Amino acid sequence: MQNTHLTALSAKHNVLDQRIAAEAQRPLPDQIILAGLKKQKLRIKEEIAAN
């Protein structure tokens, strides 16, 4: 169960990485969206580190 949870968190982390990169590539990236995505990514990273 733990391994499945970590795998899911890692997958979410990778998706957020892709979304952040895509938003940053836009001509005028939305800083509010970027900040929200980065916060989500940090929360997931912290949860992965705690396990």
Q: pLDDT tens digit string along 9-45? A: 999 999 999 999 999 999 999 999 999 999 999 999 9
Q: Is 11 left (phi over 0), alpha (psi -120 to 50) or beta?
A: alpha
Tell me the pTM.
Answer: 0.88
Position 42 scores a pLDDT of 98
SS3 of 1-51: the string is: CHHHHHHHHHHHHHHHHHHHHHHHHCCCCCHHHHHHHHHHHHHHHHHHHHC
- pLDDT score for 2: 82
Q: What is the pLDDT of residue 1?
A: 61
